[in-house]
Amino acid sequence: MHSAGTRTLEFTILSAEDLRIDGRPVKKNAFAVVRTDPSNSGSTRADLDGGSYPLWNEKVVVEMSMPMQKSVTVEVQCRVGSGNRVVGSVAVPVSEFLGGLTPEDYLHFLSYRLRDPRGVRNGIVNFSVRVIGGGGGNCSAAARNPSWGARSSSSRGFQVGVPVAGSRSNYGGGGGVVTGVPVWGSSRG
Q: What is the pLDDT of residue 170?
A: 44
**Sequence-ordered alpha helix ranges (H) in the chain:** 140-144
- Of 4-8, 47-51, 84-88, 150-154, the least confident: 150-154
What is the number of other CB atoms lying within 10 angstroms of the CB of residue 28? 14
Q: What percent of the chain has pLDDT over 70?
A: 68
Kindly report the backbone phi and psi dihedral angles of residue 95, in degrees, each rounded to the nearest multiple of 5, phi listed first: -65, -15
Q: What is the pLDDT of residue 185?
A: 54
Neighbour-count burial for 132-148, b at 16+ CB within 10 Å, e otherwise: eeebebebeebbeeeee
Over 80: is that where the pLDDT of 70 sits?
yes
Residue 10 CA: distances (Å) to CA of 18, 61, 109, 130: 25, 5, 12, 5
pLDDT greater at residue 152 or residue 90: 90
pLDDT greater at residue 105 or residue 137: 105
Kindly report the backbone phi and psi dihedral angles of residue 143, in degrees, each rounded to the nearest multiple of 5, phi listed first: -65, -30
Q: What is the pLDDT of residue 17?
A: 97
Sorting pLDDT into bands at 50, 70 and 90, what band is 71? very high
Q: What is the pLDDT of residue 149?
A: 37
Q: What is the pLDDT of residue 112?
A: 97
Over 70: is that where the pLDDT of 117 sits?
yes
| pTM of the predicted structure, to 2 decimals | 0.69
**What is the C-alpha to C-alpha distance for residues 182 and 189, in angstroms, rounded to an integer?**
12
**What is the C-alpha to C-alpha distance for residues 105 and 184, in angstroms, rounded to an integer?**
28
Kindly report the backbone phi and psi dihedral angles of residue 93, in degrees, each rounded to the nearest multiple of 5, phi listed first: -60, 130
CA 84 to chain centre: 22
Mean pLDDT of the chain: 77
